[in-house]
Structure 1
Amino acid sequence: MKNVPTLDIRRYDSDRDAFVAELGAAYREFGFCCISGHGIDPALVDGAYDAFKRFFALPAETKMKYHVPGSGGARGYTPFKVETAKDSSYPDLKEFWHVGREIPRDSKFADVMPPNLWPEEVPDFKAYGYGLFEALDQLGTRVLRALALHIGLPESYFEDKTDQGNSILRPIHYPPITEDNIPNVRAGAHEDINFITLLVGASAEGLEVLTREGQWLPITTRGDAIVVNIGDMLQRLTNHVYPSTTHRVVNPQNENARKPRYSVPFFLHPNPDVVLDPLPQCVTPDNPSRYDTSMTSHEYLMQRLREIKLI
C-alpha cells in the first residue's frame, strides 16, 4: 500500500532541487506530506499540549466564559457538537479553542481578526499557545517556499500574502467514546478551508486520508514529524495542481477509543484580501482554469464557515 512520505525539511538547504521535486510529487499525489527536521522544540510542543489539556479539564461552565456566541468561534472556546462537517448529518465529537494572529488594533484587518482571549485559569496557556502559533507559522512559511518553487514561482511568492494571514491554532479535545451506538467518526470527512494545515503531535491513531483510489489511508507520525496538508484555498489558487484531500478522524478499533484524544492543528491562512484566482503558472491546455469568479480569501472563508455551521 502506498504511504504518505516523510521528508526532512533540512534538505531544502542541502539538496534543494531534489527536496522540492519530492515534496511537490507528494502533494500532487496525496495533498499530504509529513515534515521532519523542522527544529521546533519538543518542550514547546509538550508544554502546549499540557496547558491545553489543563484547560479542557476545567468545568464546562468555566470554559463557557470564553465562548463568544455569533463569532463563528474565531477566538476562544467552542463547545462540543457545534461544528459539523459539510454535508454531514452528525456534528463532530469535539470541543476546541482558537488562537489567532496578534495584530495591531489599528490594522486594516482588525475588523475581521479579533483580539485573542486567554483563559486566566491556565496562566501558561498564552505563552505556550502563542509560542506554538509562531513556530508553526514560521514552518508553514518554509513549506510554502518549496511549494512555490515547485510550480515555477519565486521562492518568496507567498510571503507577503501570508504575513498578516488570518491563521488559527486550534487545540482540540475529542472525549473518550463511552457509548457503542454513536457514529464511528470523531471528525467527519472534510477538506480544510485554508492554504496549508500543519498538525503537530499526530501520534495518536485516528487520522485517515482518502486516496485517489478511494481507500482510507491511516496517517500516524514518528519522531518529530508534523503532518502538513493542502487546503481548499491553495487548491483554488493553484487550479487543483495541489489537491485539497478529504480526511477524517475515526475512533480507534481498540481500547484507545475509550481514551480522550488531543490534537493541535495550525491552519495557515492567506491575508484576508488575497484574491484566490488560479495562478497563470497553473493554467495549461491540459488543466484549463476551473474558476470563472474572483473571490478574496475572506469572502471564501465566510462562505465556508456558513457551510460547516460555525456562523
Structure 2
Amino acid sequence: MSPQPSESFEVPTVDITPYVQGGGADDRAKVARAIDDACSRVGFIQILGHGIPDTVIDGLTAAVDDFFGLPMEVKREYRVVGANRGYSPPKSESLSLSLGVESATRMNDFFEAYNVGTEARSFPDLDLSEDDYGLNLWPDVPGFEDRVQAYYAEAGRVARTLTRIFADALGQPSEFFAGLTDHSIDVLRMNNYALPEGTVDLDGDLTGMGEHTDFGILTVLWADRVEGLQVLGRDGIWHDVSPLPGALLVNLGDLTARITDDHWMSTLHRVKPPVVDGRIRRRRSVAYFHDGNVDAVVSTLPEYAGPNPYEPVLVRDHIKAKLAGSRHGKKNTAAEREAARVLAAAGETRS
C-alpha cells in the first residue's frame, strides 16, 4: 500500500516585518527562531511582511504576460545557447538531471522560461568573467526591462534581508552571508507553463518541471495561486503547495544545506502540469535565485558538522555541474544525497 500524505505537513508562515521595518531585538529574535524551525523541518517558508509593493508585482506579472504572449518564432529569437540568460523554449531542459536522476517518463520539462541576472559589469572593481555572470538580453517589449528590473531590485532586497535572518538563526555574525554573496551570481527566472489551456487527456505522467533542488543559498518565489508546485516532505510524499495571498515562497538551496550539513534542508520540489478537473490552467512563477559569489568556497560550519560532512565546494563548480545536468543533459554525479531522496520517493534504490 502506498504511503498516505501526512495531515501534519505544512509550509510554515513567517512575518519578517521586524527585519524589514527595523523592529526591536525581541521581535527579531522571534522571527529568527521561526525561520530556524521552518528551515530545519521543511526547507520552504511562506514569507509575509516582505515589503514589495503591489504595483511592482503587478508590473512584473504584466511584463511576463507581454513576453510569453508573443508568437513562438519571435520568442525563439531571444534564445542564448550555452548561457543562463534569455529564452528557454518548452522541453529544452530536464531539471531532474541536475541531481543525476533520469525522469521515468524520459521527457524534458514542459515549461518555457526567460532568464535575466546580475552581470559581471555590475561590479567594475572586480575582475569577473561574463562566462560566469552573463550579459542580459532584453526583449523588444515596451516597458519589459524597467518592470522586471524594478522587481529584481526588490527581490534582491528580500533575499539579503533573509540572509541576515539566517545568520541570526544560525548563531553567526550578522554579516556572515555577506562574505559569500556580496557579488552573488543572482538570476531571475520567469516561468510559463506552456501547454494550451483547455480539456486534455494526458498520455502518461507529463512533467511540468522535474524534481530538483535549487542550486545556491536561497530562492525567493512569486507564483500564481494555481495548483502545480509540489514539495517532498520528510514522509517521502509529494505535497501540494500554494502561496498564501500576498506571500512569497522561499526555499533553501544546496549551498545552505552544505553550510549546515543538512540541519537546514534543501528540499526537493517539482511542478506538475496545472490540470484541474480535467482542464489545463495556465500557471506562472518567477524565481529569484540568490546563488552566492562565483569564487566563494562553501564549507560546513564546524558546530553543525556531522560524522560525514559535505566536502568544501567552489560555487562556480557547483553551479556548473547543476546547469550541465538541466541544460546539457549531463548527469550530475556530485548530488548523491539529493538523488537518493528522489529515488526513495519513487520507491527505487540507486545502484
Normalising by the residue count of structure 2, what TM-score does the alignment of the two structures yield?
0.82
Corresponding residue of 1:17: 29
Letter in 1 for 2:90: F
Q: Report the Cα distance in structure 2 between the residues aligned to 1:141 and 1:57, rounded to whole angstroms.
A: 32
Q: Report whether the alignment pairs 1:272 with 2:289.
A: no
> Quick one: distance in 2 between partners of 1:53 and 1:35?
24
Whether 1:127 and 2:113 are equivalent positions in the alignment is: no
Aligned-partner Cα distance in 1 for 2:326–2:265: 20
- Residue 76 in structure 1 maps to residue 86 in structure 2: yes
| Candidates 263, 266, 279, aligned match of 1:241 | 263
Matching of residue 140 in structure 1 with residue 167 in structure 2: no
Q: Which runs of structure 2 are paired with 1:19-58 in the superposition (5 Å)? A: 19-58=31-70
Aligned match of 2:136: 116
**Kept in 2: contact 1:202–1:227 (CA 8 A):** no
1:261 to 258, 283, 294: 283
Q: How does 1:264-303 map to 2 (within 5 A)?
A: 264-283=286-305, 287-292=306-311, 294-303=312-321
Cα distance change on mapping 1:214 and 1:139 into 2, 3 Å: same
Matched positions, count:
304
- Deviation by residue 1:188-216 (Cα, 9 ceiling, x = unmatched): 11111111011113422211111101122
Task: Return the alpha-carbon distance in structure 2 between the equivalents of residues 56 and 309 of structure 1.
Answer: 20
Aligned partner (choices 215, 222, 235) of residue 213 of structure 1 = 235
How far 1:163 moved relative to its partner?
2.3
* Matched AA of 1:92: D
Q: Which runs of 5+ in 1 are unaligned?
A: none
Identity %: 31
**Is the Cα contact below 8 Å between 1:209 and 1:219 reproduced in 2?**
yes
Please tell me the residue identity of whatever aligns with 2:92: V
Structure 1 partner of 2:338? none
Aligned pair partner of 1:308 in 296, 304, 326? 326
Which residue is equivalent to 2:342? Answer: none
Residue 185 of structure 1: aligned partner:
207
The Cα shift of 1:289 comes to: 4.4
Change (3 A) 1:247 1:221: same
SS at match of 2:176: coil
Q: Find the aligned partners of 2:318 and 2:298 in 1 and give their Cα distance.
A: 9
- What secondary structure does 1:48 align onto? helix
Q: Look up the match of 1:153.
A: 172
Distance 2:278 2:250 in 1: 24
Counterpart CA distance in 1 for 2:279 and 2:148 is 27
Structure 2 runs not aligned, ≥5 long: 1-6, 330-351
Contact residue 226 and residue 274 of structure 2 kept, 8 A: no
Q: Could you tell me how far 1:52 is from its partner in structure 2?
A: 1.2
TM norm structure 1: 0.92
Q: Any idea what SS the aligned residue of 1:170 has? A: strand
Take 2:328 and 2:117, find their aligned partners in 1: how far apart are those partners? 16
In 2: Cα distance, 1:269 partner to 1:253 partner: 32
> Does structure 2 conserve the Cα–Cα contact (< 8 Å) formed by 1:192 and 1:244?
yes
Residue 272 of structure 2 corresponds to which residue in structure 1?
A: 250
Aligned CA distance change for structure 1 residues 202 and 231 (closer, same or farther; 3 Å): farther
The equivalent of 2:79 in structure 1 is 67
Distance in 2 (CA, whole Å) between partners of 1:81 and 1:46 is 28
Q: What CA distance in whole angstroms lies between the structure 2 residues aligned with 1:69 and 1:291?
A: 32
CA displacement 1:20-50 (0-9 Å, x = unmatched): 1111001100011110011101111111111
Distance (whole Å) between structure 1 residues aligned to residue 179 and residue 279 of structure 2: 43
Corresponding residue for residue 172 of structure 1: 191
How far residue 110 of structure 1 moved from its aligned partner, in angstroms, is 2.9
Q: Which residue among 109, 112, 115 is the counterpart of 1:98? A: 115
